[in-house]
Structure 1
Amino acid sequence: MTAFADLTSTQVAELLSGPRKPVLLLPVGAVEPHGPHAPLGTDEIISAGMCERAAARLADDADVRVLVLPAFNYGVTRLAAGFPGAISVSEATLHALVTEVCAGLVAQGFARIVVVNNHFEPAHVATLRKATAEAGVAYLDLVRRHNAERLTDEFRSGSCHAGQYETSLVLADHPELVDTATAATLPPVPVDLPAVMAEGKADFLAMGMDRAYCGDPAGASVAEGQSTFDTLTDLLVETIREVA
């Protein structure tokens, strides 16, 4: 059992008094368009997939007990506002959710928490960095260079919204949610997201992403998704070890 919310109150109390250090993982994502082929919940699917894999990998660990908290699937998603399905919350709302949930857990004795995010809109990331610092919990920051350099070429290029990188990960975890026939027809759309955002472009349409994706979704594969999940899980397990 790796889901925190599946436990009883008695089992939670036993976690705190047991010999293994409890580490809680909080998956974070967003609800936003990911092209005509991938689900709105792509980011949370990736975060949850990382957390579940890390918990499974450490299931028999003698030192830590890893459990996955219910996910936050709403984020700051203004870049996708021109497309159906985007649901955005404010920075203040996201900040309050993260800090209050983490503070409540810390007050109960769960001081070891890792926030795991795969939605990289700058305002969203900045809010999570601030909130986790204030709450005194860990944040696995995948866009930091030392983490990003271990991921795929497309991820490092910055042209990776619903492209080969993200679509491969969803194929590895929830292939039934990917419209593979449509993905196979999509041409590559090279957009360096950090660069165009630095130029002041504030939405997907202005960035040239008229179908709400960039990168190369047609190049996605289950094999790449599985390999990337292995690397993401390595990064998360390393963070769990540091926290513990």
Structure 2
Amino acid sequence: MYFAELTSPEVDSLRSGSRTPVLLLPVGAVEPHGPHAPLGTDPLISQGMCERAARRLDGDPEVRALILPALPYGVTQFARGFAGGVHIAAETLFALVTDVCRALAEQGLDRVVIVNNHFEPEHVATLRRAAESVGAAYLDLVRRRNAERLTDEFRSGSCHAGRYETSLVLADRPDLVDTAAMRELPAVPVDLPSAMRAGQSDFRDMGMNAAYCGAPAEATAAEGAETFETLTTMLVETIRAKAKGAC
């Protein structure tokens, strides 16, 4: 399922095979996710979605999904002042994504789906612009039609390293969550979209003094597994649409 594990002749054969190849590009950011969750939470979720979608489509007669090496760095300035954040400029992200997509398109592999789980506005806007520029599909989870299929906490906007994201990490890599610290964390209700619209761009200004919001103490691996099922269904729908040229 991993593009970079194929040989050059195997990639060459993708173009003449009976199954339409769709390449998945996991994207995220390296940034603080509270005192309990890993810096790489966002790309971990994106990678988990891609792996589950590729497995679900394994053996599909029409579509072959392959996972490109992830782009783990993103536009992440809201967490400045906390240790561990690695910010890249929007134009750097734009260039990385478009260069990768164009390099693939030059080889006849022009069906790419961008899979992102870092929702800082400038990061999302950059990925939308990049996808439009190169004709890639972008599974935009913050669009209302998609967000409505996810959990209550996600829809509330109070979900950075909270119950929603922490549950997903527990379902995929429980060894990376400090569950003792997680259980002691009080809920921090912050409407991130409203705060962003009001011009706030710093976690501490939003009341996120420990770089999280929501209710991480309520996170469970079971909820994470269920959410992954929903996310995977959404991604498979996007893959099939891209294979047919519908997006």
- The alignment's TM-score, normalised by the length of structure 2, stands at 0.98
Question: 2-side partners of 1:197 and 1:64: how far apart?
Answer: 39
The residue correspondences of 1:57-96 to structure 2 (distance < 5 A) are: 57-96=56-95
2:161 aligned with 1:181: no
Show the counterpart of 1:164: 163
Deviation at residue 14 of structure 1 after TM alignment: 1.1
Which amino acid is 1:185 matched to?
E
Question: 2-side partners of 1:27 and 1:158: how far apart?
Answer: 22
Question: 1-side partners of 2:47 and 2:25: how far apart?
Answer: 8
Deviation at residue 169 of structure 1 after TM alignment: 0.1
Query: Structure 1, residues 94-153: CA drift from partner, whole Å, max 9, x if none?
Result: 000000100110111011110000000000000000001001110000000000000000
Question: 1-side partners of 2:86 and 2:160: how far apart?
Answer: 16
2:223 aligned with 1:236: no
% identity of equivalent residues? 67
The residue correspondences of 1:26-175 to structure 2 (distance < 5 A) are: 26-175=25-174
Unaligned runs of 5+ in 1: none
- The alignment's TM-score, normalised by the length of structure 1, stands at 0.99
Show the counterpart of 2:21: 22
Which amino acid is 1:234 matched to?
T
Show the counterpart of 1:12: 11
Deviation at residue 199 of structure 1 after TM alignment: 1.2
SS, match of residue 78 in structure 2: helix
Question: 2-side partners of 1:101 and 1:112: how far apart?
Answer: 12
Question: 2-side partners of 1:101 and 1:15: how far apart?
Answer: 17
SS, match of residue 162 in structure 1: coil
Question: 1-side partners of 2:16 and 2:235: how far apart?
Answer: 25
SS, match of residue 17 in structure 1: coil
Which amino acid is 1:60 matched to?
G
Question: 2-side partners of 1:145 and 1:109: how far apart?
Answer: 33
Show the counterpart of 1:210: 209
Deviation at residue 63 of structure 1 after TM alignment: 0.2
The residue correspondences of 1:183-198 to structure 2 (distance < 5 A) are: 183-198=182-197
Unaligned runs of 5+ in 2: none
Deviation at residue 87 of structure 1 after TM alignment: 0.4
Deviation at residue 16 of structure 1 after TM alignment: 1.2
Question: 2-side partners of 1:106 and 1:146: how far apart?
Answer: 29
Deviation at residue 46 of structure 1 after TM alignment: 0.2
SS, match of residue 80 in structure 1: coil
Query: Structure 1, residues 49-76: CA drift from partner, whole Å, max 9, x if none?
Result: 0000000000010001110000000000
Instruction: Tell me which stretches of 4 or more aligned residues in structure 1 moved more than 4 Å.
Output: none
Deviation at residue 164 of structure 1 after TM alignment: 0.2
Which amino acid is 1:36 matched to?
P
Q: CA RMSD in A?
A: 0.4
Question: 2-side partners of 1:21 and 1:128: how far apart?
Answer: 24
Question: 2-side partners of 1:5 and 1:81: how far apart?
Answer: 33
Deviation at residue 177 of structure 1 after TM alignment: 0.1
Which amino acid is 2:103 matched to?
G
